Structure 1
Amino acid sequence: MTVQFFMFENLSLLFSMCNSWCLFTVLPSVVVTLIAVIVAYYISMSVPEAVQSMGDNAAENMEKLRSLSKTAFVVGYTGETGKALVKTLANTKVFSKVTLIGRRQVEYEEDMLKDFNVEQKVVDFDKLDESADVFQGHDVGFCCMGTTRGKAGVEGFKKVDRDYVLKTAELAKSGGTTHFHLVSSQGADANSSLLYPQVKGQVEDTVKEMGFEKLSIYRPGLLMCDRKESRAGEWVLRKMLAPVEYAAPGLATTPTSTLAKAMIHATAAPQPEPFLLYNGKAIHRASVSKKK
């Protein structure tokens, strides 16, 4: 018993020493390496040249957009990104009229609607062709529509994120929309074996082929917002990733307010290329207005 106790005590001491050594020697090295990898990846994230200076003349660009008296529509305005976009549109008033196209009407605060020419059109997305006239005559279209597999199921997710989105883009194109904005997702890839990024990638590829005069696709990270509906794990993830957003904006997260500003700035700024893809870093860069 004495021998066994002695061996156990020394074994425990050995493990304790190993744990201490790992804690103070190995762990810092792992953390430093991880940070170095993250920084290197963030630096490598490309930002289109047209986006790099987008915020430099944001105020002037938006003023010019206002003077053109253009109109716009928003689909998906009841979601978190859509809410942020409508709020930003109401604050900036860069369009002479904004039409909100969706399944239901939303009540807005009176202060938000002051001097904001907005109209709501209720449609049935399963019979969207019957409401084709609603998409006629808009210069700009914003598609913020989306759901999740967990919320809608596999078929429901495909219907909303693929079928509804593609039909919206199709009717927008035939209705005369020249600049179409599509909110996709980080990691979108038509060749992915995973359903979510696969569908998002397929939708991106199809919309590209529609031939819009200007097409802006956004791939935000985890959306940072105060959701009214609870999604398991997202609240914890947002809290954990908040420091990352501060240190490396757009690396893994995207505040919905940032995405909304980027979309407005992208509309107002000159776009020399017919297609621009905004990753998280580019979204952040496009949202920043430089003070003069």
Structure 2
Amino acid sequence: MILNISRRVGRALLVIFLVTVAAVALLGVAPGSVATVILGENATPEAVAELNARLGLDQPLWRQYTDWIGAVAHGDFGTSPITGVGVTEAILDRMPVTLQIAVMALAIALVLSILLAVVSAATQGSLLDRGISALSSAFLSIPAFVAGPVLIYFLALQVDSFPVSGWSHIEDGLWESIRSAMLPAIAIALTEIAAFHRILRADLIGTLSEDYVEAARAKGMSRAYVLFRHALRPSSFSLVTVAGINLGRLIGGTVVVETLFGLPGLGQLVASSITLRDVITVQGIVAFVAIVYVGVNMLVDVSYGLLDPRVRKAVRV
């Protein structure tokens, strides 16, 4: 057990290291510098060099990275040279927005995909099953940057059920906060619904052909009881794995949606920080997202035993 945990922690640290190194390297080869952004295009080379030296940006990238890692080890993600705000403070300030959108999108996708997958598996090969599969394929082909404007036009402008843009915090009212996050969440959830439906449908069809499911049917149990009690849980391995991975991806991948809807989340902060060459802020957010991503995947591994007792028995053996 200890060896297994040590391996997982080692892999997690390696992932975080590689991701942050890649972020720093990509920003390092981009033209311009944060000193130019602060001082303006008309700043003299001497002034730019002096500011770079004061910020420590005249050091080689490897030195900047090792200094940053040393600070992170002591809990300091650094301070933005542009805004003067601590990176940790900026993440904590914007994280609730991104997290709410990601969780709502994942919840919408899971609820709808499970219902559609159960119906499809129960009516395999029927007209209804083919119709649901066609709808799933349509959702899969609609990216968020296309779904967003369509949702805005129909549900915000035509029906006037949701705001076009902007954000309402939970402190301002739960319903208003949900309304402001609903369209971005739906825009993200469409492709997730399609992916989750396909995965769970295939696993459910395989599980329904197992001997213990046939035995349950032979005992006179209803189709709904067999589906939800005996088939759904052991068919959820792939779904849980993909959902866990996608939650981490959604937290770090809301840039387009947050920009489109004008939401003050992590995605918009990353986009603006990249434009301003704010390497410190980008590094901190990338490291944070990598930690969340790895942590969620470790929780997914633990959840396997809760979904199927056979996994717990295999681990004990």
Q: Smaller-chain TM-score range?
A: under 0.3
Q: TM-score scaled by structure 2? A: 0.23
- Structure with more of its chain in helix, by fraction: 2
Q: TM-score scaled by structure 1? A: 0.25
- Structure with more of its chain in strand, by fraction: 1
